[in-house]
Amino acid sequence: MVENRRSGKLAVILHADIAGSTTLVQQDEHLAHERIQDAFRRFGDTINKYHGQVRELRGDALLAEFERASDAVTAALAFQVDHSVYVAQLTGSILPIVRVGIAMGEVVVADDTMTGAGVVLAQRVEQLAEPGGVCITAAIHESLPKRLPFDQDSLGEQQIKGFDEPVRVYRVALEQGKAVPEVEKIQQTESPSPPRRLIVAFAAVALLVVGGVVFWLKLWSPDFESASVVRMAFPLPDKPSIAVLPFDNLSGDREQEYFNDGVTNDIITDLSKFSSLFVIASNSVFAYKGKPVKVQDVSKQLGVRYVLEGSVQRAGEKVRINVQLIDATTGGHLWAERYHRDLEHLFAVQEEIVQTIVATLAVKLTRLELERVFAKPTSNLEAYDYWLRGQGYLARTTRSTNMEARQMFQRAVELDPRYASAYVGLGWTYRKAVGHGWTEFPNQALQQAEDLAQKALSLEESAAAYRLLAYIYLLRGQYDLAIHVLERAMELNPSDWDSQAILGSVMLYSGRRDEAIQAYETALRFNPNTDIDRLVELGLAYYLEKRYDDAIRTLEQNVGRNPDHPFLHIALTAAYAQANRSEDATRTVAKVRRLHPFFEVASFGTRFRNATDQASIAEGLHKAGLE
């Protein structure tokens, strides 16, 4: 068996991609791929001619390695000159314009895959190049012989993500009227033996050089320790799996947090609609918000292979979005892009990000999925902004913020009466008012929520609207109706953990405990940070199946998240009693009496369709000493 080989070295790295490739593919997928492949084939020939080696060729990106900076820059310019003539002869608008970045740094080669700081830097520098252009770092600039006919314009120091110190970048082009230099032969000649004194001097210099190279290698050594598949908290799914980390807010204005969170959530929601992709829920990824995290830790904790991270900067009517997609199991940066657009093009940017991710991960698409994902929610950006604000208020779960959310959603509806998501958000404010006792007329509020969900569905079929309906039916005890709409919700959004969790609740209270456990466990896989109420219900499902140890394990693991959750301790009390752990049961009985002084066993579990389920829980509570 051939062993995996891994080596680190200093190299000159060339990274190239096709500017606007997503747009080209949208216009004509077959022709775009054909022309992109042809461009990279010819670029590869040029790279080989100038003593380079193509290391990777994937989709719309090419990665190559050179020994000399002069060869890399000359190859890039030679190709761009030839390619400009080639593109000028093409018909139509499918024009594969290439941009190139060249950097020097340490790389790691494992299983014919190249990663490391040098690769990342070349990719970042390439993103600074204009379509048809070439950008290089200061290290490459300083390595180029003065005799070469290159114009090099400094772009100044650039703050590049992933690098602590700014990087000076240059734009390089052929001097006006000059030809591309010919290929220079790499010659190795023997020289006469030098005098001993020169040997000693050379050895001293060599030691200094080696010391400098060691320091350089340490400086560029990637601190990325890939995520071990065997150490992951969950087995990797059998399809591409991804977590989208909350985008950083670079605007300097904390009031813009809702906007950044909205962009993150929109991308998560859109990705969740693809049946061939496994997407971690926003609840779990937002646990990392504002914290310094490593993508490999995210990968191990959530059990995913790919991690998307990014940032948003909103200034007036402009928005700047930076994103990068990383394979946490190898440390490979699969794709990165910067978008600097007018705010009115925000939806187009989000669409391009989603399209590029699914293309990079080779996700299988269906026509219906594409139509659902890329349908614009609204053409009114002001309405969208109010919807985002409403979502932010809704997540805080207080009576006052619920009313603030309602006002935001109402304003969004006024601005765009056909904005389906705004009606769903408005409906949730009424549903929450019922669930938290914030209304004197719960039946009327539930009816308002149902009417708003139906209104949304009349405009656009969505998992969110069906999920709202399901929750209303659950509260009314209309379990069969709830199951029916949840099945449709999960068809529309296969990674929708919330629908799975609500399905678990419906199955639990309707007496289908095995299916409840399956739904809850599926929800937990998508969202390891599932809310406490759903975990209490999972504990009850285990309890009713007489799996007392599983019930206790599930409930105990989450006591620390909310030590004063009365229903968690009620369920734990019954499980302890039935598992004959009398001391633990006595301890939790005291907590129940402190947290819920007026608790009565007869009032617990009234939602269960089967009286035997309620009686089973009551048996455990009575055994523990509760009345």
Residue 10, amino acid: L
Nearest to 425 by CA among 395, 399, 387: 387
Confidence of residue 231 (pLDDT cuts 50, 70, 90): low
Check residue 6 and give its pLDDT: 44
Query: Which superfamily does CATH assign the domain made up of 532-627 to?
Result: Tetratricopeptide repeat domain (1.25.40.10)
104 with 216: CB under 8 angstroms? no
Q: Is the pLDDT of residue 225 over 70?
A: no
Parse the chain into domains and list their residue ranges.
6-174, 229-369, 532-627
Least confident of 111-115, 170-174, 220-224: 220-224
Does 3.30.70.1230 match the CATH number of domain 6-174?
Answer: yes
Q: What is the pLDDT of residues 325-375, one digit of tens each?
A: 998 887 777 888 888 888 888 888 888 898 888 878 877 666 677 777 777
Residues 389-398 have pLDDT tens digits of 999 899 888 9
Give helix 442-459 / helix 463-476 axis angle, nearest 10°: 150
The number of beta carbons lying within 10 Å of the beta carbon of residue 175 is 11
In tens, the pLDDT along 15-72 reads 999 988 877 888 888 898 889 989 999 999 999 999 999 988 877 789 999 989 999 9
How far is CA 163 from its chain centroid? 21
Which residues make Cβ contacts (< 8 Å) with residue 447, sequence separation at least 6? none
pLDDT at residue 4 above 70?
Answer: no
The pLDDT, as a whole number, for residue 115 is 77
* 8 Å CB contact between 601 and 614: no
Q: What is the pTM of this model?
A: 0.60
- Six-digit token string for 79: 């190709």
Rounded CA-CA distance 386/367 in Å is: 31
User: What local confidence, expressed as pLDDT, does residue 224 receive?
Assistant: 46
For the structural domain made of 229-369, what CATH number should be given? Answer: 3.40.50.10610
- pLDDT at residue 142 in the model: 86
